[in-house]
Amino acid sequence: MAVPAKHIHPMRFLQRFPIGRKIVRKEAQNCQRGLLSSSAFSRITDAVMDTYNRDLMRLPFDRRPKTIDVAVDTVSTLSHITTFFAGGRNIFHLPKTLTTMLANTSLNEIRVSDIQFPFYSFYLSFEGGLNIGLPRTENRIDGAYISRHGDDLSFYVTSRNTSIDPSGRAAWIEGSEPHFFAPLRIQSEEQTLDDLLETAIENKDIALVPSQASIGALQAGTNDARKNGFPISVAETTGYERDAQFSQDALPSVRIVLALICNALCFLSSKPDFNEVWSDDTPAPQVLDVENAKTPKRKRAATGKLAELGFFPIRMIDLHINKEFNGIDSNEQTGTEISAHWRRGHWRRQPYGAGRNRIHLVWIKPVLVRADKGRPVSGHLYNVHMT
């Protein structure tokens, strides 16, 4: 199955913001197990703002943003791509069939300790994107950067713009794509995803209400600057207020997507088969260099050259469609006429090992009942449940 690079967020972003490739390569070398230092974050911020000020001049006045939100978002995105880069540039791509099955699987009481993270930082991609998006633009949520460092677990949910596909040096400004950052602090390995999310909201790690202290400090700084003769214009709302409103609007969709991601992590914990492929627009000569490399060292070098161009290998999950998904259950025993619907799947926490104190997750897959009756009226992505 061919996948265009523009459908995989890290490749799409670095193609649209090419200077980001150099920034990411440089700063990834300074990461300690994927942790970005404050000095590296400052350098990324400076590089993005310099590029923003330069590329902004390429746009007519009527097409220039009224705030610097795009630049701020770009700094955040580039920081997560740097962590992804430092973690080995690993991408897992889930086919639509698997995504649908996971969307119709209940999480029950899955705990943090039940999940085995394949890497400390990686990107999870949903084929074609989901049929839900984030606020502000027409978009589809298409994946998430996932990182775990000790007790810190973060999900950086990404989206793909479906209304415009700008080109040119300023395309990254005009075609900015919304994201949602969910930093979760693990207090116990026995916590559920719901617990982690509610704690993050309660602790204001995910801010649903703007900080009045921050707004006050910003207004005071603006007033001081004006007194010193600087002509500063102020937007109708502050960045803190806009971010809080965005989080409020996005949270219902994000809850759904985080549940889906958690189901995907449970699935990855089972170490499924996958095929490593390249996007269909990856330069063919360089792909041949990777495939024909005689030693692991040469293969890493050839893969690194493609990474410099913004192309990364994709781990395409190999899902063997079986009778559960094909909807063999037609309720023939009773003869009752029923419409197509999903019988939800779930995860069985199976103890094993010495003292049976370890947990192995067994996926009891969802069943599409009476598939011969057409598409089910329920069971789409927006029906994911966390309990």
pLDDT tens sequence across 68-110: 899 999 999 999 999 999 999 999 999 998 999 999 998 878 8
Residue 189: HSE in the Cβ half-sphere, 13 Å Cα cutoff: 7
Neighbours of 74 (CB within 10 A): 24
pLDDT digits (tens, 9 = 90+) for 334-366: 344 445 667 888 898 888 888 787 888 888 888
Dihedral over Cα of 168, 173, 175, 181: its sign: positive
Residues contacting 110, CB < 8 A, separation 6+: 192, 193, 262, 266, 347, 349, 361
Asked if 146 and 181 count as a contact pair (C-beta separation under 8 A), the reply is: no
pLDDT digits (tens, 9 = 90+) for 272-301: 888 889 999 999 999 999 999 999 999 999
Overall residue count recorded for the chain in this entry = 387
Asked if 161 and 139 count as a contact pair (C-beta separation under 8 A), the reply is: yes
Asked if 182 and 208 count as a contact pair (C-beta separation under 8 A), the reply is: no
| Tokens read off for 317 | 């999950």
- With cut-offs at 50, 70 and 90, classify the pLDDT of residue 386: very low
CA distance 366 to 110: 17
What pLDDT does 357 receive?
78
- With cut-offs at 50, 70 and 90, classify the pLDDT of residue 124: very high
Q: What is the pTM assigned to this prediction?
A: 0.85
What pLDDT does 223 receive?
65
| Tokens read off for 219 | 């207004």
For 356: left if phi > 0, alpha if psi spans -120 to 50, otherwise beta; the answer is left
Mean pLDDT of 119-127: 95
Mean pLDDT of 154-172: 88
Mean pLDDT of 262-273: 88
For 163: left if phi > 0, alpha if psi spans -120 to 50, otherwise beta; the answer is alpha
Asked if 14 and 24 count as a contact pair (C-beta separation under 8 A), the reply is: yes
Q: What integer best gives the mean pLDDT of the chain? A: 83
Nearest Cα to 13, choosing from 161, 206, 189?
161
Nearest Cα to 12, choosing from 217, 236, 175?
175
What pLDDT does 381 receive?
36
Beta strands in the chain (DSSP E): 91-94, 105-106, 121-126, 139-149, 152-161, 179-185, 274-277, 314-317, 341-343, 345-352, 358-364, 367-369
Neighbours of 225 (CB within 10 A): 12
Between 179 and 31, the higher pLDDT residue = 179
